[in-house]
Chain A
């Protein structure tokens, strides 16, 4: 039985990969006139993968959320170095598989509507398949090297998708930025792998393999790894997670990644790419647990990110950017949860967030579709009567994100708040306060966006927006096609009910209280605290009320608030000058002018010189030896004789 299941698990990975290969190798070169087949192939492959993921999920549930053990497949064994590839199937993997394939499936369906008539239709679905396959490969990996390869492939495919409209300079720049900034973090990940490898002796003494993830868990449980060692491994891994999940201070790439097609943003922000960082920390949670410094670092970085990103979300005018900063902020929440020792809560929030954030991005795409291609909220407004379904689903997503009872976001957010509050130590208290501040801001910026987009007067859409890149017909806003509304409806339902899986007070019988966190992920759940729940809801409602007063009833003038807090407003809207800091100070001043100049000199005089030397040397030696190739048989025979004599001579002389 378990053999059959393992094949199913491999298929979840192989099906999207096969779809990618099929599109790239056959459809694009031979049948490009049937490009719409590419979308169907992708949807079909991912739909089957999703079905299999559900089967696996049920099996893991039946197994009590514990790991289903499959031995790895030896891939390469050279002496001491032993590398096995395999599938690590536990509660975390199972739930990630369901989220990744499920969200990806909905996004693909949505894309058939959104990307209709795009000249790169087949290429788009090829990349999407590849993206999904990479992410699945990442979550099932049972070996650190295996995980790292897919980690990088996720980075590569997000690069391809963010820069999908490569003829747009801003898209190309955003893709490059995403690739480079995340690479900084990956360097830490790589160092962590090296560090693990060099500690291999400790592992092999206990009969374990330092690169095998289940073995790493065992080693941590046995306590054979010193806390100091665990700290460096954990911090290295966390550096990778900071890059991928857009945590402070490497968060700058995420909002720019909006340059890709909107469905790509919803996939990146909900299920793939950014979730990878949170997943990584959760996957190696035993390592983090072994070091208090590592855990506190995760908590504090998460808390800072949650608030910092939310402040920037307050002032953005681009609806996708508001959502992007919201994602960064919510990822901060998840990290914060991990840092205070609640991996279950963090993953629970990842789970609910995947649905409502994906939904919100789809809503943004739908709105942009209706207004001819702008994302600037200042040129929208008044869309509610024209786009009933988009409005309702967007409202549900916003309420869920804001954490209003009893939607999904309420339960997962409350779980984290209660856990942080219940934790002991200053760090828990500090991050709890940060999280509470973020609750208020989240509610405010989401309803600011909602009111600006859907209420008031229609302000002209893309035609009015001087910066809009495409100008579709924008004078008559219209509802999007069924292929786009359908997935949004499904996600809206999930954004309402998904929280019940781990609700601390509602017992559904087969799904008892705390089910997902306790029984499935085997993590500690926080007890329900009515004060925190009520308090955070009141805060969220206050945020909504403020947004209402400022943007709908206009009893408070947004302009006057803006000018009263002008320095703050500028600071937020310029994103705390991080881009300037990185691009102008670090890159241009420090890197170009100082480091690059020094390196340039060294390159010209030392490296180039050496290369030229090697080049000339090898060419000349090569030519010289080629000269010996005269074509004369006598010469060749001579060489053979000389060779024999040389062997003999060497022994006679030196032995």
Chain B
């Protein structure tokens, strides 16, 4: 461990430091909202370190100068991309919880501190290149989330958290099983060495994945990761947990936790199993999961009457669109644009983060006021809260994938990658699903704009929430109108997977 290693780990270390400092401050400071504000502002430190790292490491992040802690962690643009995303997401979550924490009688500071710890785990997940470290960082991100889900301490919240814990345990076990098989077959837990060993071993073409052991290993890994990214049929926990949790936690789960899941899937599958025959086979599994997730998520969302539950199913559907990008492996067609699919996934994740956080920010602003998450209670919001209603409508348009929003560009990019990879059928499924999704997104807009309001009382919201709504909405528009900057960053990040 050298000073340079400390520098490489500085974003994570400063996150942990920030969380701990907030907990300590809690002992002395009576105004808890002040601590929350301090926490959000304090995120500048890890953000600053991440930006510094982005510009100091080269494009080809050679492992020898970025490998940390015996080479289990790597600091490359791929990891840094996700660190930006997690820091941004946790900052927005901090802003939108400002009113929400008033509902808790105790542990107000712990709420944000736990979110910071969880985000630290996610940052490590994005950086890890070794299976055991991966497992530990995954648990570091999950356990605080369980506590956060239970924070309301009412029946639904506790029930959701319990399910999250039990099913999270099951999926962890499955994941570990999968890792064991991979380790048993290759004799190593380092992803790059796994790839090398698989290349050395002569594959038996009669067996799927060249060997039954790898088949079992990969299938179990997919199931374990599938829990994290709410891929059908591993998504069952999500609606209950999303509905029961405090809404800022739901937003965090649906954006950051899901992004972390995609980070490790991209890392594991593109680094450890990049062999051509292998990648074609696992991409078929992802394609099937993509079709299932999109279809199930959208169809069930139609029937929802609660906005949080609706967004939960919408999250599942968007997991499906993201999986389309994951399934778009260049090896399928022997194409040369290797980073097309992964960079599409990264762009989609960032775009999804801003649009979903925009939607959740508005939902929080409104539900804080009307104490209801029922869609029918959004009637006439366009009159009671014109700006919030417009922002929510815009976010929903983006989630549907209509220009000029980031959601449109993200879908174009991911579907374009799939077409390039010869997955036209999957794109057809995706487009049909986008049409279905328009139905339930638009029905929310319709209720807000065409139904008459239940009261004329305007919705007031506090500055931090308005700031969150404003920043995310501008993000949806800017990335939708001028996407190339973010696309270039996503491409640079995806390139790191192939160096």
Cβ distance B479 to chain A, nearest Cβ, rounded Å = 12
A619 touches B223 (CB 8 A): no
A639 touches B233 (CB 8 A): yes
Query: B interface, how many residues as a size bin?
Result: 35 or more
Cβ distance B333 to chain A, nearest Cβ, rounded Å = 11
The A-contacting residues of B in range 340-357, CB under 8 angstroms, are 340
Contact with B along A376-409 (1 / 0, CB 8 A): 0000000000000000000000000000000000
Question: For A633, what are the chain B residues with a Cβ–Cβ distance below 8 Å?
Answer: 162-163, 166-167
B484 touches A73 (CB 8 A): yes
Given the known interface contacts A622-B300, A629-B236, the answer about A79 and B337 at a Cβ–Cβ threshold of 8 Å is: yes
- The residue in chain A whose Cβ has the minimal distance to the Cβ of B303 is A622
B484 touches A639 (CB 8 A): no
Q: Does B378 contact A (CB under 8 A)?
A: no
The A-contacting residues of B in range 384-430, CB under 8 angstroms, are 386, 409, 412-413, 416-417, 419-420
Q: Does A647 contact B (CB under 8 A)?
A: yes
Cβ distance B326 to chain A, nearest Cβ, rounded Å = 15
A623 touches B227 (CB 8 A): no
Q: Does A473 contact B (CB under 8 A)?
A: no
A79 touches B299 (CB 8 A): no
Q: Does A631 contact B (CB under 8 A)?
A: yes
Contact with A along B431-442 (1 / 0, CB 8 A): 000001000000
How far does the alpha carbon of A646 sit from the alpha carbon of B167 in the complex, in Å?
A: 19
Given the known interface contacts A78-B412, A622-B300, A644-B219, the answer about A652 and B208 at a Cβ–Cβ threshold of 8 Å is: yes
How far does the alpha carbon of A635 sit from the alpha carbon of B222 in the complex, in Å?
A: 20
Cβ distance B137 to chain A, nearest Cβ, rounded Å = 22
How far does the alpha carbon of A621 sit from the alpha carbon of B483 in the complex, in Å?
A: 37
Given the known interface contacts A633-B166, A643-B234, A651-B208, the answer about A75 and B219 at a Cβ–Cβ threshold of 8 Å is: no
A76 touches B236 (CB 8 A): no
A618 touches B233 (CB 8 A): no
Question: For B487, what are the chain A residues with a Cβ–Cβ distance below 8 Å?
Answer: 76-77
B219 touches A648 (CB 8 A): yes
A647 touches B223 (CB 8 A): yes
How far does the alpha carbon of A643 sit from the alpha carbon of B237 in the complex, in Å?
A: 14
Given the known interface contacts A619-B303, A629-B239, A637-B170, the answer about A643 and B419 at a Cβ–Cβ threshold of 8 Å is: no
Q: Does B174 contact A (CB under 8 A)?
A: yes
The B-contacting residues of A in range 72-93, CB under 8 angstroms, are 73-79, 81
How far does the alpha carbon of A271 sit from the alpha carbon of B365 in the complex, in Å?
A: 46
Contact with B along A622-644 (1 / 0, CB 8 A): 11011011010101110110111
B222 touches A647 (CB 8 A): yes
Given the known interface contacts A639-B233, A640-B167, A640-B233, the answer about A623 and B226 at a Cβ–Cβ threshold of 8 Å is: no
Given the known interface contacts A618-B436, A626-B303, the answer about A640 and B416 at a Cβ–Cβ threshold of 8 Å is: no
Q: Does B492 contact A (CB under 8 A)?
A: no
Given the known interface contacts A79-B340, A640-B171, the answer about A618 and B302 at a Cβ–Cβ threshold of 8 Å is: yes
Q: Does B255 contact A (CB under 8 A)?
A: no
Question: For B215, what are the chain A residues with a Cβ–Cβ distance below 8 Å?
Answer: 648, 651-652
Question: For B412, what are the chain A residues with a Cβ–Cβ distance below 8 Å?
Answer: 76, 78
Contact with A along B139-180 (1 / 0, CB 8 A): 000000000000000000001001100110011001000000
Cβ distance B383 to chain A, nearest Cβ, rounded Å = 12
How far does the alpha carbon of A539 sit from the alpha carbon of B163 in the complex, in Å?
A: 92
Query: A interface, how many residues as a size bin?
Result: 35 or more
Q: Does A560 contact B (CB under 8 A)?
A: no
Q: Does B275 contact A (CB under 8 A)?
A: no
Question: For A655, what are the chain B residues with a Cβ–Cβ distance below 8 Å?
Answer: 207-208
Question: For B419, what are the chain A residues with a Cβ–Cβ distance below 8 Å?
Answer: 79
Cβ distance B495 to chain A, nearest Cβ, rounded Å = 15
A76 touches B223 (CB 8 A): no
Question: For A79, what are the chain B residues with a Cβ–Cβ distance below 8 Å?
Answer: 337, 340, 416-417, 419-420
B413 touches A78 (CB 8 A): yes
Question: For B409, what are the chain A residues with a Cβ–Cβ distance below 8 Å?
Answer: 76
Q: Does B216 contact A (CB under 8 A)?
A: yes
Q: Does B266 contact A (CB under 8 A)?
A: no
Given the known interface contacts A76-B484, A640-B234, the answer about A647 and B285 at a Cβ–Cβ threshold of 8 Å is: yes
How far does the alpha carbon of A61 sit from the alpha carbon of B170 in the complex, in Å?
A: 74
Question: For B223, what are the chain A residues with a Cβ–Cβ distance below 8 Å?
Answer: 640, 643-644, 647
Question: For B483, what are the chain A residues with a Cβ–Cβ distance below 8 Å?
Answer: 75-76
How far does the alpha carbon of A619 sit from the alpha carbon of B302 in the complex, in Å?
A: 7
Question: For A77, what are the chain B residues with a Cβ–Cβ distance below 8 Å?
Answer: 484, 487
A78 touches B220 (CB 8 A): no
* 3 A-B pairs with the lowest CB-CB distances in the bound complex, closest first: A78-B416, A636-B236, A622-B299
Instruction: Known A-B contacts: A79-B420, A625-B296. Give 4 more (CB < 8 A).
Output: A77-B484, A640-B233, A648-B219, A651-B281
14 pairs, CB–CB < 8 Å, chain A vs chain B: A76-B413, A79-B340, A618-B299, A619-B303, A622-B300, A625-B296, A637-B170, A644-B220, A644-B223, A647-B219, A647-B285, A648-B219, A651-B219, A651-B281
A contact residues vs B (CB 8 Å cutoff): 29, 73-79, 81, 618-619, 621-623, 625-626, 628-629, 631, 633, 635-637, 639-640, 642-644, 646-648, 650-652, 655
